[in-house]
Amino acid sequence: MRRSRRSLLQSAGVVLSGTTAGCLSTSRRTPQQSPTETTAQPASLKLTAEVVRQSAADAPARVAATLSNDGTGTVRPGFGPTLLFSDSGPDEDLARADPLVLDPDGRGVLRSDPVQSSNDCWRYPEDGIDGVQSSLEYRALAPGDELREAYDIYTAAEASACLPQGRYNHQDNVELPGGSRTATLTLTLTIDERQRLTVSGDASAWTGERTES
């Protein structure tokens, strides 16, 4: 079975990659230690989301996402430095909310400060840094446990309108130790004609082979 780029990070050195005005920059970092055990997982993941605030003159729009274990057993999802942000490879066909830029509070994602235009639009600068730390880390979630992350929402520099009306998906994959099973997390942002934001989350069922310890 073909393994994802993030699965291969378990056995190879990793780098921090980012783009500045379309160019790639790298710096050295230490690979993360990954667990060695694999277990059958009865747990199921659930992704929910909420709007923390709408865009205003004094602050950009802000949303939060929560990943929880709705199952009966402990699960150890592996993903990048922060929820919904992994350094995905080209073989992972994931949606990106291109007219929008998500800026998480968590570590490992490089973002430049937004520029506020005369019409109070919070835009990401055209030459802004866009980098995600290449790492694969596992978080143990017992039944009922959850992980929460908040994100500021900016309009991309190339977007013609501020917070353009539409429905946009931002996706990331999570995997179990060993890369045997994966699930896709989807954050859906919907903007209406008044630039009002709503958000929802979804976690797909696990796919791939189940491994026993």
Please give the pLDDT value at position 173. Answer: 95
Six-digit token string for 12: 């190879």
- List, in order, residues 6 or more apart from 105 with CB less than 8 Å away: 82, 149, 150, 151
User: What separation in angstroms does the CA of 114 have from each of 79, 107, 110, 181?
Assistant: 26, 18, 12, 37
User: What letter would DSSP give residue 177?
Assistant: G
Q: Is the dihedral of CA 13, 19, 23, 28 positive or negative?
A: negative
Please give the pLDDT value at position 180. Answer: 80
User: What letter would DSSP give residue 163?
Assistant: S
Please give the pLDDT value at position 90. Answer: 63
Please give the pLDDT value at position 143. Answer: 95
Q: What is the pLDDT along the chain (213 residues), one digit of tens a residue?
A: 334 444 444 433 333 333 333 333 333 333 344 343 334 444 689 999 999 999 999 999 999 999 999 999 999 999 999 999 998 766 678 999 999 999 999 989 999 999 887 788 999 998 888 899 999 999 999 999 999 999 999 999 999 999 999 999 999 999 999 888 999 999 999 999 999 999 999 999 888 866 443
User: What letter would DSSP give residue 7?
Assistant: H
Among candidate residues 132, 206, 128, 117, the one with its CA nearest the CA of residue 170: 132
Please give the pLDDT value at position 88. Answer: 75
